[in-house]
């Protein structure tokens, strides 16, 4: 048996009557979920592997069938039951449609956050509990720790800083966290692969999946053009002069340097590479400039970031305490303080303002700001 007992929350696998507690493990066909399944099996739980089928557009190829076969093969290797769970409808509504609608508003969505909230720890968790499971488990790099002093569950960073996924899990409320296990959260990635080798799992050498299944290898702009009509507009320089054209401001993000056209008469042999430094969706224009202007524009971001639709995992942040904030996955953690804002309270959405010691660069509306205190993920919200 290769199980160890880190501080990561792993309950007693036995009930008082001696029966085993049931855990439904989300298996994707990758190394992380397969090792999670093996660890929980060896710890003494009654485990079942569950492959979750999600939505993807017909015009894109997706290897979900191959992933399902890999997940099934892992379950057969470990001699545990295997189930299929179809959550296409939930994924389409709560992740896919949300993503497209957010882009249409000129904001930048965070579909991985919504996938965890509504699919993996929404529909999947509901399915598991209804079918007699005591817990669900996933291959996320995060740690669920029970604080005996206050009786609350806390979410802490995964042991592998390069793989920590708490940024995508900040929406987890207490009642769900009490039913969720992260078996590999206390292990670095290389240890997980070594465990897969010891279990003789073929996933030990399998590459990590990248990005969203329904996007695949298609560029995001090409993908969005399947759902959002082109709307040609003007490319401006920093002085506001028209120097080119584009397919629609909605398709561009700050820092891009491809996909727009600069008129021949606006170029010289000395023209540097041009980057999107701003976009005006109302007027359907994008402004471009050299890298120096992009960097200067990034530095002008406010030290304050407003968030709404917040979730605080174990306790609301305190105004007098110092935290660290992250505005993108693997982004820098920057010291900040947070306070409650009464703006927007009348519409039922509490808003908070995070004030940073140094400004965050390229902050995008629609993304998430997630707060940390040391290794603990406090929670976060959507940037407005």
- Angle at the Cα of 242 from the Cα atoms of 241 and 246, rounded to 5 degrees: 145
Q: Mark which of 298, 326, 359 sits at the end of a domain.
A: 298
282 and 349 together in one domain: no
Q: What does the pLDDT look like over 162-184, one tens digit per residue?
A: 999 999 999 999 999 999 999 99
Task: Report if residue 287 sits inside a domain.
Answer: yes
Q: Is the domain of 73 the same as that of 200?
A: yes
Same domain, yes or no: 111 and 243: no
User: Phi then psi for 167, rounded to 5 degrees?
Assistant: -55, -35
The confidence score (pLDDT) of residue 117 equals: 97
The set of catalytic residues is: 115, 213
What's the CA gap between 110 and 99, in Å, rounded?
Answer: 7
* Same domain as 308, residue 256: no
Same domain, yes or no: 261 and 318: no
Q: Does residue 222 form part of some domain?
A: no
Residues 101 and 198 in one domain: yes
Examine the domain organization and report whether 258 and 323 are in the same domain.
Answer: no
Domain that holds residue 291: 229-298
Query: Does 124 reside within a domain?
Result: yes
Number of domains in the chain: 3
Q: Where are the alpha helices (DSSP H) in the chain?
A: 31-43, 64-78, 88-91, 97-104, 111-115, 124-130, 174-177, 189-198, 220-224, 291-299
**CA-CA distance, 350 to 310, in Å (whole number)?**
8
269 and 290 co-located in one domain:
yes
Tell me if 14 is assigned to some domain: no
261-262 and 242-246 beta bridge pairing:
antiparallel
Question: pLDDT value at position 2?
Answer: 40
pTM of the model: 0.88
The reply to whether 55 and 193 lie within a common domain is: yes
Residue 50 φ then ψ, to 5°: -125, 120
Weakly modelled stretches of the chain, pLDDT under 50: 1-6, 345-347
- Which of 374, 384, 383, 352 shows the shortest CA–CA distance to 166? 374
Number of DSSP helices (H) and strands (E) in the chain, helices first: 10, 18
Q: Is residue 88 part of a domain?
A: yes
Residue that is last in its domain, among 298, 327, 349: 298
Residue 108 and residue 86 share a domain:
yes
């Amino acid at each position: 048996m290769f199980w160890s007992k880190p501080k990561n929350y792993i309950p007693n696998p036995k009930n008082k009557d001696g029966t085993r507690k049931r855990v439904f493990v989300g298996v994707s066909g990758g190394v992380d979920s397969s090792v999670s399944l093996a660890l929980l099996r060896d710890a003494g739980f009654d485990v079942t592997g569950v492959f979750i089928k999600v939505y993807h557009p017909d015009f894109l190829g997706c290897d979900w069938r191959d992933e399902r076969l890999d997940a099934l093969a892992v379950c057969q290797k470990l001699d545990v039951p295997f189930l299929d769970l179809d959550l296409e409808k939930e994924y389409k509504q709560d992740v896919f449609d949300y993503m497209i609608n957010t882009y249409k508003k000129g904001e930048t969505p965070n579909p991985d956050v919504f996938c965890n909230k509504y699919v993996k720890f929404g529909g999947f968790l509901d399915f598991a509990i209804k079918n007699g499971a005591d817990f669900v488990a996933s291959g996320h790099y995060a740690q669920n720790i029970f604080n005996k002093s206050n009786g609350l569950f806390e979410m802490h960073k995964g042991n592998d800083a390069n793989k920590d996924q708490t940024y995508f899990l900040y929406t987890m409320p207490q009642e769900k966290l009490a039913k969720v296990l992260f078996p590999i959260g206390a292990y670095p990635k290389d240890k997980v692969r070594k465990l897969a080798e010891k279990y003789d799992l073929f996933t030990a050498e399998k590459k990590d999946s990248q990005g969203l299944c329904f996007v695949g290898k298609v560029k995001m702009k090409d993908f969005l053009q399947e759902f959002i009509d082109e709307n040609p507009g003007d490319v401006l320089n920093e002085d506001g002069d028209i120097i080119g054209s584009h397919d629609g401001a909605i398709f561009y993000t700050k820092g891009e340097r491809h996909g727009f056209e600069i008129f021949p008469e606006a170029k010289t042999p000395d023209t540097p590479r041009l980057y999107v430094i701003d976009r005006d969706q109302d007027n359907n224009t994008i402004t471009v400039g050299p890298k120096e202007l992009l960097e200067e524009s990034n530095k002008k971001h406010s030290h304050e970031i407003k968030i709404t639709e917040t979730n605080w995992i174990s306790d609301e942040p305190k105004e007098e305490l110092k935290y660290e904030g992250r505005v993108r996955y693997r982004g820098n953690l920057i010291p900040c303080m947070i306070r409650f804002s009464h703006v927007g309270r009348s519409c039922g959405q509490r808003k908070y303002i995070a004030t940073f010691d140094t400004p965050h660069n390229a902050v995008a509306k629609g993304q998430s700001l997630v707060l940390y205190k040391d290794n603990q993920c406090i929670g976060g919200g959507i940037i407005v």
